[in-house]
């Protein structure tokens, strides 16, 4: 069962590993990203960053879609973390049960503009977010569980 889907360019770090995982009661973090698979050092670092009692699985976007849709992940209280808006959109397009996406942090890049103080998007990313919203997916910003969730529909 998917507890939360979050976009955070940092992937697993303090807010994800401790604060969010505890708040949603997750027992498995699925990192869905194609690039991480080819970086053994980052994979090891991500696994070490998670609490010892939380399973960490790192898969490509397509493998994540396949695993979720097959039911293999149903036994977990799953916290899905993607690195980019594009990754989250692909995942949401492939997994019908994803109805909302939390955005924690998207780093500033050349050509990006601020949606919030921690979320910077390019025009292409803005279009991807608008696409998710038009498909009925709730897109909201929330750094930590104690912060008020901000519906980003109007900001797009």
Average pLDDT by consecutive 10-residue portion of the chain (156 residues)? 96 88 96 94 92 95 98 97 97 97 96 94 96 96 95 89
Which pLDDT value is given to residue 155? 87
- The secondary structure of 41-99 as a DSSP string is HHHHHHHHHS-TTSEEEEE-HHHHHHHHHHTTTTTS-EEEEESSHHHHHHHHHH-TT--
pLDDT value, residue 30: 98
Q: Provide the 3-class DSSP secondary structure of residue 37.
A: helix
Q: Please, is 85 exposed, middle or buried when counting C-beta atoms within 10 Å of its C-beta (0-12, 13-18, 19+)?
A: buried
Cβ atoms of 80 and 6 within 8 Å: the answer is yes
What pLDDT, on the 0 to 100 scale, is given for residue 17? 86
For residue 63 the two structure tokens come to: 């493998």
Please say whether the beta carbons of 25 and 57 come within 8 A: no
Tokens standing for residue 28: 């498995």
Q: Closest by alpha carbon to 103, among 74, 55, 57, 144? A: 144
CATH number 3.40.35.10 is the correct assignment for the domain at 2-151: yes
- pLDDT at position 154, please? 85
pLDDT at 22: 94
| Enzyme catalytic residues | 13
Q: Which tens digits make up the pLDDT trace of 52-74?
A: 999 999 999 999 999 999 999 99
With 0-12 / 13-18 / 19 or more C-beta atoms within 10 angstroms meaning exposed / middle / buried, residue 110 is exposed
Q: What is the pTM of this model?
A: 0.95
């Amino acid at each position: 069962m998917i507890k939360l889907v979050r976009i955070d360019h940092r992937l697993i770090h303090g807010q994800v590993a401790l604060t969010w995982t505890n708040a949603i009661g997750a027992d498995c973090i699925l990192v869905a990203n194609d690039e991480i698979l080819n970086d053994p050092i980052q994979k090891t670092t991500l696994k070490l960053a998670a609490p010892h009692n939380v399973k960490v699985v790192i898969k490509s976007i397509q493998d994540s879609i396949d695993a979720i849709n097959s039911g293999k992940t149903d036994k977990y209280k799953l916290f899905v973390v993607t690195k980019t808006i594009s990754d989250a959109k692909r995942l949401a397009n492939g997994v019908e049960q994803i109805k909302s996406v939390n955005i924690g942090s998207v780093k500033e890049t050349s050509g990006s503009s601020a949606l919030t103080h921690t979320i910077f998007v390019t025009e292409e990313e803005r279009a991807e977010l608008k696409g998710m919203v038009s498909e009925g997916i709730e897109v909201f910003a929330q750094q930590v569980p104690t912060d008020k969730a901000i519906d980003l529909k109007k900001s797009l």
